[in-house]
Structure 1
Amino acid sequence: MDLGLQGKRALVTGSSSGIGEGIALRLAEEGATVVVHGRNEARTTAVAERIRSSGGTAETVTGDLTDAAATAALLDEVVAAGGVDILVNNAGGRSGGFSPEPVWETPVEQWLATYRLNLVSAVAATQRLVPGMVERGWGRVIHVASAVALHQPPMFADYQSAKAAEINYARSLAKGLGGTGVTANSISVGIIATPDSEVELMKAAASIGAADWRDAEEEIATEVFRQAVPRIGRPDDIAWAIAYLASPRADFVTGTNVVVDAGV
């Protein structure tokens, strides 16, 4: 199916690796010009080169989205180059890593840093880039949230809450943008095999006596993570859902949170 992304221009934040890289590759394959973003210039450039080598069109911007000045500079660069039709707010994570301290011991500074990395960076990008979409009469804003925003484990409360706030923000944004031609949605992702999730996947493997998660993927998926789909997700599982939401085919979809978590 032709998703109608030819001629569209997309910024995918945090797309120098993992899920973001998968999204950038998929959007480019569907015909969009993709602005690849990351903090590491070499890794960001490598993703852009991978897109170009496959016949796609890619540009790059670099900068730390937790730094207000750096964020403003890279967004100004995107606007100066023509803005975007599609904004995928993918950059995120938990500031300081996923240490399993009790939720009541997570320092306030940790909460603030995690919100800056997830929600605040997404708000900054949205506020800078959406006016151009509204002016052109068409656009897509997609927030990459997490399934833990919906079924909270007893840890990482700052991360869960930040992702829940992104879902809420997308819904509010969708209503505020009503009638402009710009839609806003979010997607809640489950366990996806990326470099960042490798440690957790290996812990899951060890819990059932496996040396590597790839050797016991079905058992880990169904018994450890209790998924309905007996495999671990890959970045392209998320990228396909994003590509649909980003396309003209999804004109009737806004204010929605799409859950892609294998039925956890």
Structure 2
Amino acid sequence: MAIDFDKVVTVSAAKQIAESIRTAIMDGRLKVDERLPTEDELAQRFQVSRPTVREALKRLAAQHLIRSRRGPTGGNFVASPAPEEAAQSLANATTLMVAVGDISLDDMATARLELETVCCRLAAQNRTDAQLEAMRLEVERQRDPALTDEEFCASDVRFHRALVDAAGNALLGYLMHAVVEALEPVSNMIIFRVRDRLVVADLHERILRAVEARDPTAGAEALADLVAYTRDRYGEALKRRAERAG
């Protein structure tokens, strides 16, 4: 591997080493599955101690940028991308940002409408029978009065996950993971006392029928009505909360 690493100063050396290697990975100088130099070699190149190199490697491993392998042919290797882990990390960060107020539910609703509308249109073109059946099964579950609120929320997530999957776009799927896996539960938690579950199920069925009929316009309209309903229930939930506090 012919890579010229810059020397680093001693302050935050481990962080600088990790950033240097990360940059080499991101710009393609280090390829997936390529073996990194040994700890001794890295220590010599960066002119730091082996413990400092180990700390840098720990940082990279925590970011899922490298993986280690033991044995005679072992060492540290550039990791293959793990879409599921990256998407879950995005979802976790998004949930935290909503919790601390960096992202408002109004922002969430707007972003969801724009992104999921694209998914809805693509799903009308690309959906499979299996994906339609998955969506249909969730609508049927949502009409069950014995379903708990937690189970309804889980079904809601599965319905929208199936819709996003039906779009057949990997990047949209990654971006929508934060909405479906993180923000849907947050929204459900806030509005579950003021929403009508049958209304939600009816709106989901409208989306399903539009996708099944390959009608992107009807699907987008149904989704817009669902987001509007959610916005209204959110406002109602906040009003009730304020009244109780007063």
Task: Identify whether the pair has TM-score above 0.5, normalized to the shorter chain.
Answer: no
Structure 2-normalised TM-score? 0.24
User: Which fold has the larger relative contact order, with Cα–Cα distance below 8 Å and residues 6 or more apart in sequence?
Assistant: 1
Structure 1-normalised TM-score? 0.23
Structure with the higher fraction of residues in helix conformation: 2
